[in-house]
Structure 1
Amino acid sequence: MPDAPSSPRLWDISPLVAPDAPIFPGDAPYRLDWTARLSPGCPVNLSAITMSPHVGAHADAPLHYANGERAIADVPLDAYLGRCRVIHAVGAAPLITVAHLQHAAQDLPPRVLVRCCERADTVWSDHFTAFAPEAIAWLAARGVRLIGIDTPSVDPASSKSLDSHQQLLQLDLRVLENLVLDEVPPGDYELIALPLKLQGACASPVRAILRELP
């Protein structure tokens, strides 16, 4: 019999969501409590979780950075699913600029994830790489509709104006933050990173996956 075709390779680009996952100071950490435990009088284990929707890999909603804008349940899903390009810009700091992206600019797909960390942080640090607003505008001008990064935010931790988030709002781009791209070679993939339909929420956790293209 002929060999069965192999399944496309998957890369899980989501960090573990755990009580010690790094979060912005003031965010609610992940917490799990048991409301029922399997026993002679109970047929199931049942847990309850509390957490900021920005813990782990997540999708920001426009509501996160502008009052009156869409919550995550109201954001169209098409940007979070489809062909994407992983661009390596390891060592870019403090901002990803156009110069860090130009080498991979030919025939850009609608989704771009940028790896700027040698290894994704497992503890909180204020000193992470973010996006220069002009780099976001440059990507949007080339048809990009979603950007992603392997740090906590597209803006620096100290920013009060959130210029890169405001650029996302102005250009109607979607964003993924806190990805783990440590083991992902540069190139094109299928992205699967759908947010949950959380009513009124400013963001949603995602289980972000890259799938090998045929």
Structure 2
Amino acid sequence: MNNKSWIDISQPLTNDMAHFPGDTPFNYSLTYTKEQTGSVNIGQITASVHTGTHVDAPFHYDSDGKTIDQLGLDLYVGPAKVVDVSNTERITTDTLKEFDLDGITRVLLRTSLPNNAKVFPEKTPYLDPGIAAYLYEQGVRLIGVDMPSVDAPDSKDLATHHALYEYNIFILENLMLDHVKSGNYELIALPLAIEGSDGSPVRAAIRPIDERRTDHE
């Protein structure tokens, strides 16, 4: 593989993909066919804004928080570090201290959860809310995970969401990282500018950074 190639780390949007229990499933269909219009096929989609690989806006868990269209694009474009924490089911500050995150703005966690876009997991690795303060001290502004949520799927208090929010760290969820090596990358994961929305699907991609370059911004 060309070391400058972009690597897709987003879930494909398919009509049989998994979705959060009780949420709106993804569906794509043709509204009109070329035969009907005489010129073009025209499709439509229905979906939750938390479909597949997506960004949470603070409004998702705070009614007074910013909506997706109010967030800066620089959060979702720039250097990122992929960190492999798949050796544990409990990701804590001690887990992350094994890695050099000093000055890292965006960290993507490859957990033990297998990447399967068609199956919603019954259980996910535990992400300790205490990591928020540590990540903030290192300079992290965005955390990405290869899980549907930074909290357990049945969580009501969303302790990790709120801890990250307290430290102004933004959230990217449902990445596909099983085929990705640990290391430094450029990240693009731009959300759609959906006015007033609590989140947005993204097309996330990374490209290896030449190790001779710095991973600091």
| TM-score exceeds 0.5 | yes
In structure 2, the residue matched to 1:18 is: 14
In structure 2, the residue matched to 1:3 is: none
In structure 1, the residue matched to 2:173 is: 177
The alpha-carbon deviation at position 104 of structure 1 amounts to 1.3
| Distance in 1 separating the partners of 2:9 and 2:101 | 24
Contact 1:55/1:205 (<8 A) preserved = yes
In structure 1, the residue matched to 2:93 is: 98
Percent identical across equivalent pairs? 38
Output the TM-score relative to the length of structure 2.
Answer: 0.90
Work out whether 1:210 is the aligned partner of 2:191: no
Note closer, same or farther for the CA distance 1:141–1:47 as it changes in structure 2 (3 Å cut). Answer: same
CA deviation profile, 1:31-82 (whole Å, cap 9, x unmatched): 1121211127521110010000111100000000001211101111111111
Aligned partner (choices 184, 187, 191) of residue 191 of structure 1:
187
Note closer, same or farther for the CA distance 1:7–1:100 as it changes in structure 2 (3 Å cut). Answer: closer
In structure 1, the residue matched to 2:107 is: 112
| Distance in 2 separating the partners of 1:210 and 1:41 | 39
The alpha-carbon deviation at position 176 of structure 1 amounts to 0.5
In structure 1, the residue matched to 2:39 is: 43
| Distance in 2 separating the partners of 1:77 and 1:143 | 17
Contact 1:72/1:198 (<8 A) preserved = yes
Secondary structure of the structure 2 residue equivalent to 1:82: strand
Instruction: Report runs of 4+ in structure 1 exceeding 2 Å deviation.
Output: 105-108
Is there any run of 5+ residues in structure 1 with no aligned partner, and where? 1-5
Note closer, same or farther for the CA distance 1:117–1:108 as it changes in structure 2 (3 Å cut). Answer: farther
Output the TM-score relative to the length of structure 1.
Answer: 0.92
Aligned partner (choices 82, 88, 91) of residue 78 of structure 2:
82
| Distance in 2 separating the partners of 1:117 and 1:16 | 20
In structure 2, the residue matched to 1:72 is: 68
Is there any run of 5+ residues in structure 2 with no aligned partner, and where? 211-217
AA in 2 matched with 1:113: L
| Distance in 2 separating the partners of 1:23 and 1:155 | 15
How many residues align? The count is 208
RMSD: 1.6
Contact 2:113/2:125 (<8 A) preserved = no
Secondary structure of the structure 1 residue equivalent to 2:31: strand
The alpha-carbon deviation at position 158 of structure 1 amounts to 2.1
The alpha-carbon deviation at position 193 of structure 1 amounts to 0.4
CA deviation profile, 1:132-181 (whole Å, cap 9, x unmatched): 11112211111000001001000011211101110122111111000000
Contact 2:50/2:200 (<8 A) preserved = yes
